[in-house]
Chain A
Amino acid sequence: MIQTKKVTTLAALVLISALTSVSSALAAEVSIEVNLPVSEGSMNYRPYVAVWVEDAQDQTVKTIAVWRKEADWLKDMRRWWRKAGRYDQGELDSVTGATRRPGKHEVKWDATNQQGEAVPAGQYTLNIEASREHGSRSWVRQTITLGKGEGNQVYTTKAAEELGSMTIKVSH
C-alpha cells in the first residue's frame, strides 16, 4: 500500500518536472571555481564565503554555498546577508559548510531556485562574496545567460583582494 502511494507520488513528480522543463526548456548546469588566495601575515584567518544567484532585477534566486563558522559574522558577507541570509529561507541549513583552505573549490548550480524548481531562461548574475577577519571584503559578480539560444559559456573574473580570478562555466 505504502509502496503504491510512493509510486504515485513519484509519477506525479515526474509529470510536474516534465511540465516545468517544457515551459522553461532549461537543462543547464553552472560551475563556479571559487578561488581563495593565500593570505600573507600572521593573522591569516580563513574567509567566510557566500555564493548565490540573482536574477536580472537583482532579486535573490538561490544561495548555493555558505562557508562559515560563527553566525555572528555572517553579516560581514554584506550583500548576501542583506539580500538573502537575513531572510533565512532554509539555505543556511542546506548549503552551509565549514570555511575552506586557500585554493580552488568547485561549486555547482543546477539552474533551480531556492524551492528547487527549474528557473526560466534569461539573464542571471552569479555572486561570490568573501569576508575575512583581519582582512578585507570582496564581492565579485558575473552575468550569465541561461537558454535563449545561448550555448556553453566560459567566463573568467578579475581577481579581487579576497577572491582570486575565477572561472565560471555554463553548459546547456
Chain B
Amino acid sequence: MKKRTWLGAAALSLALLAPSVQAHPLWMLPSEFNLSTEESFWITVDATAAHGVFTFDKPLGLDSVSIYKPNGDRQRMGSYFKGKRRSVFDLEIDTAGTYKVELSGQQRYVTTYEIGARNTSRRIFANKQEAEIPEGAKNVKTTAVQTLSAFYVTQGAPSNKVLEATGKGFELHPLTHPSDVVAKENARFKFTFDGEPLANLDIEITPHGTAWRNSREQMNLKTDKNGVVTFKPTVVGPHLLMTSMRKNVKSPLADAAGVNYHLTFEVLSQ
C-alpha cells in the first residue's frame, strides 16, 4: 500500500515535471487570430496540457512564453493566471502585422534502455554523460526532447518577419501563411530542422470541438520529400497541428534530438 502511494506520487511528479516526455499536447488558444482593430486591442489566451481539442486539463507555467511583435522585437509577458485546469494570459496587440507567440519548454534528456532476461524497458531523465546505466543494459539511447507550442495572431494584413527562417532548430515555413488558411482550399506548411527539410514526418491536424462529437476527425498526414505537408481543411475555426520529430544527432550529450510541436491556427471562412 505504502509502495503504491510512492509510485503514484512519482508518476505524478514525472508527469508534471516532464510533460514533453509524456507527449501530452500543450496548446495555447487565443480569443482571436485575426483582428481588424485600428488601435490597440487585448486578446486573451488559454493554455493547457490536454488531449482534447480544445478542452482544458492541466495548467501550464507560462514563464517560457515568448511574444514576438511584427517587427521581430520581443514583447514582455505580463502577469498570468494559473488555475486548476488551465492558465490564462492577456496580450495587447497594438501593431499591424503578424505576432508570434511561442511556449518553448526546456530541453530535457531522456535515456532509455532495456535490461534483464525479459528486456524490460527503462528510462532515466539524464543525458549521456550523467545517466547511470546498469551493467548489461541493451539498446541504450539518449534523446534531447523539447516541446514547442505556438500560434500567430494578425492585425490587418499578414506579415512574415516573425516567420523568417533562421536555419536553427525546428522551424515552420509558411508556404501558406498561418493567418491565411481557408476552408476547402489547399494549405501548405513546410518543416525543417537546422535548415534540413523534415521528410516523411507524421502530422496530425484536428479541428476544434472533439468533446462534442464522436469521431476525433483528425487528419493523419505526412510531409513529402521536401518537408511539405498539404491539407485541405473542411471545418472553419481553430485547429491543432501536432507533430513529433526524432532525428539522430552527433552530440556528447545525446544520440537523438526530439521536438514535440503544437501549432494552433484558425481555418477561415471561404
Asked if A85 is at the interface (CB within 8 A of a chain B CB), the reply is yes
* Smallest CB separation, A58 vs chain B (Å): 9
Asked if A74 is at the interface (CB within 8 A of a chain B CB), the reply is yes
Interface of A, secondary structure class, is: helix
Kindly identify which residue among B36, B154, B157, B268 contacts A73, using a CB–CB cutoff of 8 Å.
B36
Asked if B81 is at the interface (CB within 8 A of a chain A CB), the reply is no
Asked if B156 is at the interface (CB within 8 A of a chain A CB), the reply is yes
Closest residue to A76 on the B side, CB-wise? B36
* Smallest CB separation, A36 vs chain B (Å): 20
- Asked if A81 contacts B38 (CB within 8 A), the reply is no
Which one of A72, A79, A87 has the greatest number of beta carbons of chain B within 10 Å?
A: A72
Bound complex: CA of A79 vs CA of B270, how far in Å?
6
Bound complex: CA of A86 vs CA of B180, how far in Å?
11
* Smallest CB separation, A37 vs chain B (Å): 21
Number of A residues near B (Cβ < 8 Å) is 15
Kindly identify which residue among A79, A86, A88, A139 contacts B34, using a CB–CB cutoff of 8 Å.
A86
Kindly identify which residue among B37, B157, B182, B270 contacts A71, using a CB–CB cutoff of 8 Å.
B37
Interface residues of B in 139-164 (CB under 8 A from A): 154, 156-158
- Asked if A87 contacts B157 (CB within 8 A), the reply is yes
Asked if B80 is at the interface (CB within 8 A of a chain A CB), the reply is no
**A67-91 interface bits toward B, Cβ cutoff 8 Å, 1 = contact, 0 = none:** 0000111110011011001111000
- Asked if A81 contacts B36 (CB within 8 A), the reply is yes
Bound complex: CA of A79 vs CA of B180, how far in Å?
11
* Smallest CB separation, B99 vs chain A (Å): 15
Interface residues of B in 180-213 (CB under 8 A from A): 180, 182
**B37 contact set on A, CB distance < 8 A:** 71-72
Bound complex: CA of A81 vs CA of B38, how far in Å?
14
Interface residues of B in 154-182 (CB under 8 A from A): 154, 156-158, 180, 182
- Asked if B34 contacts A75 (CB within 8 A), the reply is yes
- Asked if B269 contacts A71 (CB within 8 A), the reply is no
Bound complex: CA of A2 vs CA of B27, how far in Å?
65
**B156 contact set on A, CB distance < 8 A:** 86, 88
- Interface on A for B, CB 8 Å cutoff? 71-75, 78-79, 81-82, 85-88, 137, 139
- Interface on B for A, CB 8 Å cutoff? 34-38, 41, 154, 156-158, 180, 182, 268-270
Nearest 6 Cβ contacts at the A-B interface: A74-B36, A75-B36, A78-B269, A71-B38, A86-B157, A72-B37
Q: Would you list 17 pairs from A and B whose C-beta atoms are within 8 A, ordered by A residue?
A: A72-B41, A73-B36, A74-B36, A75-B35, A78-B268, A79-B269, A79-B270, A81-B34, A82-B34, A82-B268, A82-B269, A85-B36, A86-B34, A86-B154, A86-B158, A88-B156, A139-B269
